[in-house]
Chain A
Amino acid sequence: MDGIPPENFVTMIEAVHKYGRYGPLGKNKEKTMDKTIETIYTGILDGNQHLVAQQVTEALNAGLSPDLILKNGLVAAMSEVGRLFENGEYYVPEMLIAARAMQAGLKLLKPSLADTGVKAVGRVVIGTVAGDLHEIGKNLVGMMLEGAGFEVIDLGTDIKPEAFVNAVREYKPDIMAMSALLTTTMPNMEATIKALEGAGLRKQVKVIIGGAPITEEYANRIGADGFGYDASLAVKVARSLIGG
């Protein structure tokens, strides 16, 4: 404090009054920030990918914290999408369009998230099991998990047990998610779980499964940790498995 001219203190105090959080211009700035987040939020719900991308860019340029944009904008919006889906107000088309808008924003946000050291809430490896080429359900679950703040590594379709095992070994995910749409490919879910056991990796990862013929009873029978009835509930199960 010694040696600092008194007039500098005056300037500092005036600046705080003018530009600080509770000052006239600071309040406007906060309002502007809230408005931007709100626009991102509603943009996602409306499926307006261009608006979301534009607003995320503006938010970053305005100095908003990437973590704030992610949590209060993207994740909050996708959580609302999930709620609307469970309530029967949104269906798959609305969910897809919203998820696309979210991904448009997330793509722009990712570098900043990395720079500021913001970590994903968890890491998920997802794939459709061996012999099965269906991907819609897997894609939707992947999008919703991303929207919930997870890092998602999509292995694709027709993934053999050993490929799942290798992915767990390489990426060390918190969760491994498997999808199957045929009664003939369902057994590969159990085969994959057994392959994880054989590789000594079973305890390192939580396993959730889903798909048209899959039931909770089946998931319990084969030793999965969770069952996702639909994309929205899959996110809830994933969160609960990592203690979120």
Chain B
Amino acid sequence: MTKKSPIKEQMSARERILAALQGKPVDRIPFVPLIDTYSVLDMPAHVQQVMQAAASEGYWQGMLAAIREIGCDIMLRHVYVTKSASGAPHLNGFGRFEPPVVTSSRMEGSLLVETLETPIGTLTGTWGFTEMHGWIPHPVKHLVTDHEELKIFAYAVEHLCLEKPEPDFENFGNAEKAIGEAGIATTSFLNTPLMDLIETCWGLENTYFLLHDYPDEVEAILDRLHQVQRLVVERIAESPAKVVIEYENTSSTLLSPKIFRRYCLPLLNEYADILRSADKIFLVHMCGKLAAFAGDLASARFNGIADISPHPTGNFTLDEAAAALPGKVLTGGIDATTFIESDLPRVEAKISALIEGIKPYPGVLLGSADTAPRGTLLETFRLIQHLVSTVGSYLGRAAESYRPGEFLTSISGADKTPQSRGSTPVGKEAVESVDMHQVLQELTRRLDGKRPEVTGIIKFTVTGDKVYRLFIEQGRCRLEISDGPSDASMAGNPKNLLALFTGKLNAMAAFMTRKIKFDGNLQLLGVLAAAAE
């Protein structure tokens, strides 16, 4: 009889998560939902305040603060180990385009417009936002829609830089230090080229129509994009990140097993070989309908699958996946519709049953199927955390202590209703007494002469105050109190604008939480950072 390794009682979350990710014994099932700013948009005020305060330092800092407040095991996502290229966010995902190809982006009202300029033509993609989507943009006009645009895109990708991206390992180290024993940080990279085209710049229909009509040309593009992606993976392999997650978003609603086998799986296996030889744990985020791919997934060389979705979004329960994919690490299992269920006793029964179903399998971490949805009650997260600590415990005492309904009774009286959807429940922020004219004059003085290559007009619409315009002419700056045309603009209350200018509020966080509205040429707005130099 083999001797069982003793399970350390009361493992730290870090120990527990890393053990589970290696298929080793744990004290209890970890609970690692995927939480981002979208998830917390309707959370109680104190959660949002904590997140927003921390988000002024950066994206992952805000997320870490939110997850700590929510109280689950921390498996922090998207802590990058490379520096990203500036320009257009979606086009940057392909890599750094070199001259004569130029990328740019601007806001036009609530639309993000991204442009790819080449000597043989210009491509434009448009992304929309709605209140319900949160800050997540959705394509409303794809970059490539026909053969002519495909040719321009092909030209552009031939000018992608074939060098590993610049590392930023310090960023990751800081995240790990901040998390400590409460969990782990993970780093990310984007999906395989075909999936990236489907989901972003080409769209589903255009990708398949063009692949059907011009297979050689499309495959040449995919090969080139893969060359660049491979360099990203090689850089990640050098980083201190122990756990790497690629966001593939596989689903039979997007592709067939035949297409997956031809265009995605070989690349995923190649990435797995690179990362695993560097002793990384490599997970692939697959949040869609996976049953059709089970055979391929079972033999795939990555360590496991993150954020598995059961019905209705997916078609694989966590225990089904565990049975079908022996040896694979799995996370996920709780669908968005369960998270937003307001009948908490029903949620308790469902999750208890799910936990009982996965307990026999090693390497299974309970979590959300894709992002935990907006509208999830804080109590739901805490209920699930309670369940993994009792029902999900492998230590007899903790498991035996579980009493159905007891936790909910203990927290009854707490506000279980989500805040009204679509509003930031922090309440009206007091507009402090800030002399914006003086602030902008100082900004103008500091920026003057710093960027001689820049010419443009930036408009500031200050709530409860006036409209100002900063005229920049080859780096020389002049401020006017006037409304009129501009190349870029921002609008917000004095307190938030001041926080942005003094670095206390991160621009991305400001945008995501709608504290400041941006419009026009985003690169021009980026010039304002020079005032702080």
The interface of chain A, by Cβ under 8 A from chain B, is 47, 88, 90-94, 96-97, 100, 130-134, 136-137, 139, 157-158, 182-185, 187, 212-215, 218, 230
Contact = CB atoms under 8 A, between A and B. Distances in A.
A96 B208 contact: yes
Contacts of B204: 92, 96, 136
Most chain B Cβ neighbours within 10 Å, of A93, A131, A137, A182: A93
Contacts of B374: 183-184
B333 to A, nearest CB: 16
Contacts of A134: 138
A181 to B, nearest CB: 9
Given A132-B130, A183-B340, A213-B336, A97 B208 contact: yes
Most chain B Cβ neighbours within 10 Å, of A90, A92, A185: A92
Contacts of A90: 256
Interface in B231-262: 252-259
A153 B284 CA distance: 39
26 contacts: A47-B212, A88-B292, A91-B256, A91-B257, A91-B259, A91-B292, A92-B253, A92-B256, A93-B255, A96-B205, A97-B208, A131-B132, A131-B133, A133-B133, A133-B138, A136-B204, A158-B128, A182-B373, A183-B336, A183-B337, A183-B375, A184-B374, A185-B132, A212-B253, A213-B336, A230-B253
Most chain B Cβ neighbours within 10 Å, of A88, A132, A187, A212: A212
A155 B208 CA distance: 24
Contacts of B313: 212-213
B131 A131 contact: yes
B295 interface: no
A219 to B, nearest CB: 11
Nearest to A156: B140
B526 interface: no
A96 B337 contact: no
Given A96-B204, A158-B130, A215 B312 contact: yes
Given A97-B208, A139-B205, A184-B374, A91 B130 contact: no
B214 interface: no
Given A91-B256, A130-B132, A133-B140, 19 more contacts: A47-B212, A91-B257, A92-B208, A93-B255, A96-B209, A131-B130, A131-B132, A131-B133, A132-B133, A133-B128, A136-B204, A136-B205, A136-B253, A158-B128, A184-B375, A212-B313, A213-B313, A213-B335, A230-B253
Nearest to B373: A183
Contacts of B128: 133, 158
A176 to B, nearest CB: 20
B109 to A, nearest CB: 14
A215 B454 CA distance: 54
Most chain B Cβ neighbours within 10 Å, of A97, A132, A133: A133
Contacts of A215: 311-312, 337
- Interface size range of chain B in the complex: 35 or more
B132 A132 contact: yes
Interface of B: 128, 130-133, 138-140, 203-205, 208-209, 212, 252-259, 292, 311-313, 335-337, 339-340, 373-375, 421
Nearest to A90: B256
Contacts of B203: 136
B132 A94 contact: no
B252 A214 contact: no
Contacts of B252: 91-92
Contacts of B255: 91-93
B360 to A, nearest CB: 28
Contacts of A136: 203-205, 253
Contact of A214 (B256, B312, B373): B312
Contact of A213 (B133, B208, B337, B421): B337
Given A96-B204, A131-B131, A132-B130, A184 B421 contact: yes
A187 B373 CA distance: 14
B467 to A, nearest CB: 30
B312 A213 contact: yes
Nearest to A182: B132
